[in-house]
A and B are shown apart, each in its own frame.
Chain A
Amino acid sequence: MTALELSHVTKRFGEKLAVDDLSLTLEPGSFLGLVGRNGAGKSTTLKMVTGLIAPSSGSISVLGKNVAEEPLAVKRQLGVMPEDMALLEMLTGPQYLHFVGRMYGVDDHDITRRRVELFEALDLEPGPKTLIGEYSFGMKKKLALCSALLHGPKLLFLDEPFEGIDAVTNRTIKDILQGLQKKGVTLVLTSHILEVVEKLCPLIAIIDEGKLKGFGPLDSLRRQGESLEALFVGLVGGASKAELSWL
């Protein structure tokens, strides 16, 4: 059984073609880095896979279940950390994690235990009455990651997880993600920091203007000694060198 299968997936917003005939398959325990320019269709793809929006055509299966036909069964297996995090800012961190845990049917005792472990691992120490709205950006990122991991997902989607995170936590998150992969969890990560993707993800998918430009193990995609950045710019086309006349 595949962990994730996208078959000829297309998404249109009015006249705009956001994702164009995208097909790819991931085995359980894969760690995919999904990279692309701004507006390339990465977030739209993640939204379709996680059931937030429906594709205009094509089908998506998660762990053998069709997203359109069995959305609830699929969502139970997914952990999602969206780029905008979408946290309930008038709750405290522990209150929010209890909310999320209950939505997934985790019992209160387990939620508390997992929350303590997650906070400790991610070095998240908010005041007991500090509201999420008062957290720093990095703390919000950590909390969003906690909420994505709380119910023990089989497939984890992380949209720009390293943005605004300090170096120590960055390392902790990488360790956690690699540990999850060893336990058979499938991970999909999007990031503009290509060095992180290069070090962390054995599998790479490059998407541009909604089309898949390259997909496979990094070493099979690039030439000897070539960096991911060079491969990426080569596939999607680099910007012309502009002279800034006033500087």
Chain B
Amino acid sequence: MAVASPIRAVLTAHFESTVNRMRKQLGRTGFIGLLFFLGVFAFVGVVPLLLLATVGSYFLAREAFVQHTGHGLDVMFGVGFTVLPLFGGLIGGVSGGSQQLAWEQYRAYPVTPRTLFLAELVAGFGDVTAAVISLMLLGAGAAVALAAPAHALASVVLAIEAVVLMLSVQLLVGSLANRLAQRLRFALAVLLVSPGVFILLVRPWLEKEERTGFKSSRHAWELASTLAAWLPSSMTFQPGARAWLGAAAQALAVGAVVVTAAVMLWREHASSPDDSGGPVAPPWTFTRPVLGIARLQLVTLLGSHLGKGAFILPVIAVVLLRGFVAELTGRTDWMVPGAFLYTSFAATGLAFNQFGLDGHGVKALFLLPITEQQILKGKQLGYAGWQAMQVALLVVLLGVMHQPSLEHVAIGLLLFVCLFFLQGAVGQFFSTWLPRRLSPTSMKNGQVPITVALASLGTSLGGMAVFGGALFGLRHSPIPPVVGMAALALGCFLASRPALRFNARFLAENRDRVIEAVG
């Protein structure tokens, strides 16, 4: 059987699923609107990027390889053909730009793992980042070939290799993200320890650098430039034997990444879930319906890859906001609340799809002799427990690494509580209106309807602006910020009660939507 047929089957299925999903979620008018939006986005965003990559590469290549006037431009091309695909693969892999179809399906069909890998690799073009960067790389390769015919073969081959490298890295990163979530405790331990160790190691060096006027940093930049010139992709643009050596090394490196991605992916998917044979968890019990739903929601969240993955956010928040951004802005008083805001902001996805992880169990949930209000309240409690664990982790990390004042921590916590109630209330509505099933064994929160994406972004940013603005105002008023924020949090809690009743009524009227989409 020809290899082309399964590849075509997988690619067509990817494309058709995406179009069907959009059409179903947005309706005909919404779908046309989205196409229009994407067209405008392509025109104002993608086209300039492609022009920059092609036209820019053409003129730079003429300068570098024909007029020989641009010092270091050859190295810049080499770095571009290595860094851009790595960056694109990383972004695409994290955002789930690969493996959109259930791999288990494929095992029943008479196709080899190699063919399936090839199909999934090519299907990686479905991710916007991968598609745009691929076009940029191929455009740049073609432009260099046109501008400098002596380097035509090298640039075209390099561009193709770069695209293959990016698609492989995308698969590899997606696979790694899943594995990381499977080994949560190990990953958490590493993540908890590593920022502290990193800072301990780097801090004395940074202090010394400050005293010596960053002399070593300049050396480091020179070293990086030398290393960049020795990158296989950079060597390919250099004369003589170095070009051949670079080309061979680049081919070997790309080949190694492709093989690694293929092996990892196949090992991940070849094992049947039936083979695990692990111990069966004891059944859970509860005393009141709301607590029962809360416990079920908490267990579901903690048992899912997405729920586990969210525990990385406090670590990122501490490293990003408390370290890097604080150094940049010099405003440490906003950094602790900022870390709380970031943690809250980054976990919004699950708040806007509270039934997503229930799967078929959602039917059983609605068959229980309890009200919609009890279901939503229970889910909110479970969600609160899950977020409380993240906050606890954040507080510990902040305490160990930065010893913030109690007041800053309290303000951060209260900001978090305000946002929790806001996101919960809006999230409950969208969880009923536009629900979608989520896989408990995948890190992907993909196929988010654009309406939900915009609403969650708007809610989070709006909440940040309102509550952050209130905090700013309190800092310039006679009321102590902690007291003011506590009053605001209480107000949010009180406001969430009528919102809960409204959302419960909405859920009662739209149970079918949830069952149809998730169950």
Residues on A lying within 8 angstroms of B by beta carbon are 12-16, 44, 47, 50-53, 71-76, 80, 82, 86, 88, 90-92, 95, 98-105, 129, 131, 133-134
Distance between Cα atoms of A129 and B16 in the complex (Å): 11
A100 contacts across to B, CB distance below 8 A: 9, 109
- Indicate whether B104 reaches chain A with its CB closer than 8 angstroms: yes
Other-chain contact of A102, B12, B20, B21 (Cβ < 8 Å): B12
Whose C-beta in chain A lies nearest to the C-beta of B21? A90
Q: Which 9 residue pairs across A and B have the least CB separation, nearest first?
A: A14-B277, A102-B9, A105-B1, A75-B110, A90-B17, A13-B277, A103-B109, A76-B110, A99-B13
Distance between Cα atoms of A13 and B506 in the complex (Å): 45
Asked whether, in the complex, the Cβ of B20 is within 8 Å of the Cβ of A91, the reply is: yes
Asked whether A95 and B110 contact (CB < 8 A) given A14-B277, A52-B272, A105-B2, the answer is no
- Indicate whether B105 reaches chain A with its CB closer than 8 angstroms: yes
Asked whether, in the complex, the Cβ of A129 is within 8 Å of the Cβ of B23, the reply is: yes
- Indicate whether B42 reaches chain A with its CB closer than 8 angstroms: no
Asked whether, in the complex, the Cβ of A88 is within 8 Å of the Cβ of B111, the reply is: no
Q: Smallest distance from the beta carbon of A181 to chain B beta carbons, Å?
A: 22
Residues on B lying within 8 angstroms of A by beta carbon are 1-2, 5-6, 8-10, 12-13, 16-17, 20-21, 23-24, 101-102, 104-112, 272, 274-278, 516-517
Asked whether, in the complex, the Cβ of B275 is within 8 Å of the Cβ of A99, the reply is: no
Whose C-beta in chain B lies nearest to the C-beta of A71? B110
A44 contacts across to B, CB distance below 8 A: 274
Asked whether, in the complex, the Cβ of A51 is within 8 Å of the Cβ of B107, the reply is: yes
B1 contacts across to A, CB distance below 8 A: 76, 104-105
Other-chain contact of B111, A16, A90, A103 (Cβ < 8 Å): A103
Name 14 A/B residue pairs within 8 A (Cβ), A-sorted.
A13-B275, A15-B277, A52-B107, A86-B104, A88-B17, A90-B17, A91-B20, A92-B20, A100-B9, A100-B109, A103-B9, A103-B111, A105-B5, A105-B6
Number of A-B contacts (CB under 8 A): 94
Whose C-beta in chain B lies nearest to the C-beta of A103? B109
Other-chain contact of A53, B23, B105, B274 (Cβ < 8 Å): B274
B110 contacts across to A, CB distance below 8 A: 71-76, 103-104
Distance between Cα atoms of A188 and B359 in the complex (Å): 31
Whose C-beta in chain A lies nearest to the C-beta of B23? A129
Other-chain contact of A98, B6, B12, B277 (Cβ < 8 Å): B12
Asked whether, in the complex, the Cβ of A103 is within 8 Å of the Cβ of B16, the reply is: no
Asked whether, in the complex, the Cβ of B277 is within 8 Å of the Cβ of A72, the reply is: no
Whose C-beta in chain B lies nearest to the C-beta of A50? B108
Q: Smallest distance from the beta carbon of A226 to chain B beta carbons, Å?
A: 35
Other A-B contacts than A47-B274, A51-B107, A103-B110, 7 sampled, CB-CB below 8 A, are A13-B274, A16-B277, A72-B111, A82-B108, A90-B20, A95-B16, A98-B12
Asked whether, in the complex, the Cβ of A99 is within 8 Å of the Cβ of B20, the reply is: no
Asked whether, in the complex, the Cβ of B20 is within 8 Å of the Cβ of A131, the reply is: yes
B278 contacts across to A, CB distance below 8 A: 14
A103 contacts across to B, CB distance below 8 A: 5-6, 9, 106, 109-111
